[in-house]
Amino acid sequence: MANSKNEHTGEFVGDVPVVAKSDVVVVGGGSAGVTAAVSAARNGCSVTVLERYHHLGGMASGGMVLVLDDMVNNQEITVSGIVDEFVQRMRKEGMAVLPPPEDRHASQEMWEKWSRWGVHDFHKAERPQPITYAVAFDPDAWKRTSLDLIRENNINLRLHSFFSEAIVEDGVIKGVICHTKLGRQAILGKIVIDSSGDLDVACSAGADHSQGQYIVTTVFRLANVDTDEAMRFEYEEPEAFAKINRQARRIIGGAWEMWWLKTPIPGVVWCNCPHMPGYDGISVDDLTKAEYEGRDRMMNLFRFARENLPGFEKADMLGAAEQVGVRTTRMLQGEYIVTKEDVVERRHFADTVCRGRDYYTPYRALLPKSVDQLIVAGRHYSAEPEAQKRSREIPPCMAQGEVAGIAAAMALDADINIRDVDPLKIQKQMRAQGADPGDVPSDNATGVGDDVATASVA
């Protein structure tokens, strides 16, 4: 198929027209990818971002995953940097809600005030769980903020571009090919950041990886919910509430205890359900079936809630998220594979470059073993499935993106391989950008000073 003239630099890769060239190519405009692009651009790189859909944000917007969490180690805020800019910008529009510092503690009063925003520390065993620093936000505000940051940083954004093949020469990635309405298009770059969430680029480039799988979810939203009445019922009639809530969770066939949460738009709630096991998040057949099954299940719950749950009598179905919620598919097996013990035991690494909650991420977990000038950021980073399950929330994915952007710029400045960038320099730049690189271990960290990381390189 012919390309329009204005989408062609005049060069070809084989018979594929080259439509853009930049220092850095970011594949996937989700939370990790947009952060990576902004970070690379601010460090002096020209950047192109490819995204298959018409919107940016991935799970955080198209998937309607509407709480930023995993940013706190007890009272210490451990994830900061570009994520803070998202929060500040959305807050200005009234589209992000977070508890003030004085409300961040455990008490029944705070639980009743805040837990339906999803801003409690769900890793804590104590009841009520403490209210913590976490942020409920609106999906379109996330898309707008992403677009604004991309435009302000002069990043070349190419939506509607589905990555299909990595261009690799002698073990070095040189760019990518994507499918578009105008046929195949090539984008060349000196460094490629894979933030597709499913490891599409690294996998195509031949990097070692594992195949993970977990529940998928067609998140949906309801409007016209009387949330005050729903909460009154929950706290004033706890036994009746517990009975109906149990039935609701059975009817949808798998949901967290708190299956509906408030959003910044009054009367609109998001439902982080159903849990649908057995689907492969990169299989066309499975993803198609999941759309049907998810909608069947959500309508069952919707009808039940309208008839039985106080506060939901007049609820309307706003519909399922544009993207089915996929948590885990392919994951890199990179220079280091983060283990469940690393996360659970809060192991610190000498090359820690970012962190989430109370755990630490070594630089090597972003680097494929065999492909040069390629780095990954986001939920497909190099981790065991049981480690990824505990470390893939939106903010830590963004922190990885921030690292990847910095590392790309440093590699290009020094004209070296990205795997040879000094993690200590990345740590320094993360701090300069207001992000926490995790170089200073918290009191509850373990393995500090050990070479645990090197010992368990896979």
Q: Rounded to whole angstroms, how far apart are CA atoms 242 and 244?
A: 6
Options 80, 180, 185, 195; binder of ligand FAD; rule CB under 6 A: 195
Residues 326-345 that bind ligand FAD (CB under 6 A): 326-327
Nearest residue (CB) to ligand FAD, 358 versus 393: 393
Among the residue ranges 9-17, 24-32, 202-210, 364-372, the one whose residues contact ligand FAD (CB under 6 A): 24-32
- Residues 415-454, one symbol each (x = binds ligand FAD by CB under 6 A, - = not), give ----------------------------------------
Question: In the chain, what is the greatest distance between 2 CA atoms, to the nearest angstrom?
Answer: 70
Helices 284-308 and 238-252 meet at what angle, rounded to 10?
150
Beta partners for residue 186, in sequence order: 18, 177
**Number of DSSP helices (H) and strands (E) in the chain, helices first:** 13, 23
Q: Rounded to whole angstroms, how far apart are CA atoms 69 and 83?
A: 11
Give yes or no for residue 402 binding ligand FAD (CB under 6 A).
Answer: no
CB of 260 to ligand FAD, least distance (A): 13
Give yes or no for residue 378 binding ligand FAD (CB under 6 A).
Answer: yes
Alpha carbon separation from 56 to 34, 63, 157, 160, 452 (Å, rounded): 8, 11, 10, 11, 37
Among the residue ranges 189-197, 308-316, 336-344, 361-369, the one whose residues contact ligand FAD (CB under 6 A): 189-197
Give yes or no for residue 305 binding ligand FAD (CB under 6 A).
Answer: no
Nearest residue (CB) to ligand FAD, 27 versus 430: 27
CB of 33 to ligand FAD, least distance (A): 6
Residues 308-327 that bind ligand FAD (CB under 6 A): 325-327
Extract the tokens encoding 209.
Answer: 């990886």
**At 83, is the secondary structure helix, strand, or coil?**
helix
Residues 380-399 that bind ligand FAD (CB under 6 A): 392-394, 397
Task: Tell me which residue has tokens 């368990």.
Answer: 456
Asked if 359 and 447 touch (Cβ cutoff 8 Å), the reply is no
Upstream peptide bond of 385 is cis (omega within 30 degrees of 0): no
Q: Rounded to whole angstroms, how far apart are CA atoms 219 and 325?
A: 7
CB of 321 to ligand FAD, least distance (A): 8
Rg over alpha carbons for the chain, rounded to the nearest Å, is 22
CA-wise closest residue to 168 among 154, 185, 150, 186: 186
- Residues 196-235, one symbol each (x = binds ligand FAD by CB under 6 A, - = not), give xxx-x----------------x-x----------------
**Considering CB under 6 A, how many residues would be counted as binding ligand FAD?**
39
Give yes or no for residue 31 binding ligand FAD (CB under 6 A).
Answer: yes
Give yes or no for residue 272 binding ligand FAD (CB under 6 A).
Answer: yes
Give yes or no for residue 69 binding ligand FAD (CB under 6 A).
Answer: yes
Give yes or no for residue 274 binding ligand FAD (CB under 6 A).
Answer: no
Q: Rounded to whole angstroms, how far apart are CA atoms 373 and 192?
A: 7
Q: Rounded to whole angstroms, how far apart are CA atoms 157 and 37?
A: 10
CB of 282 to ligand FAD, least distance (A): 9
Q: Rounded to whole angstroms, how far apart are CA atoms 262 and 116?
A: 6
CB of 27 to ligand FAD, least distance (A): 6
Give yes or no for residue 73 binding ligand FAD (CB under 6 A).
Answer: no
Beta partners for residue 50, in sequence order: 27, 158
CB of 313 to ligand FAD, least distance (A): 27
CB of 273 to ligand FAD, least distance (A): 8
Asked if 321 and 63 touch (Cβ cutoff 8 Å), the reply is yes
CA-wise closest residue to 333 among 199, 159, 428, 242: 199
CB of 51 to ligand FAD, least distance (A): 5
CB of 54 to ligand FAD, least distance (A): 10
Give yes or no for residue 294 binding ligand FAD (CB under 6 A).
Answer: no
CA-wise closest residue to 157 among 44, 33, 278: 33
Q: For 205-300, list the strands marked E by DSSP.
A: 209-211, 216-217, 220-223, 260-262, 269-271
Stretch (H or E) spanning 157: strand 156-158
Options 13, 17, 30, 185; binder of ligand FAD; rule CB under 6 A: 30
CB of 281 to ligand FAD, least distance (A): 9
Nearest residue (CB) to ligand FAD, 315 versus 326: 326
Give yes or no for residue 38 binding ligand FAD (CB under 6 A).
Answer: no
Give yes or no for residue 48 binding ligand FAD (CB under 6 A).
Answer: no
Among the residue ranges 60-68, 86-94, 140-148, 446-454, the one whose residues contact ligand FAD (CB under 6 A): 60-68
Q: Rounded to whole angstroms, how far apart are CA atoms 25 and 398?
A: 17
Dihedral of CA atoms 411, 417, 418, 424 in degrees, nearest 10, equals -70
Give yes or no for residue 298 binding ligand FAD (CB under 6 A).
Answer: no
Give the footprint of ligand FAD on this chain (CB under 6 A).
27-33, 50-53, 58-60, 63, 65, 67-70, 162-163, 195-198, 200, 217, 219, 272, 325-327, 378-379, 392-394, 397
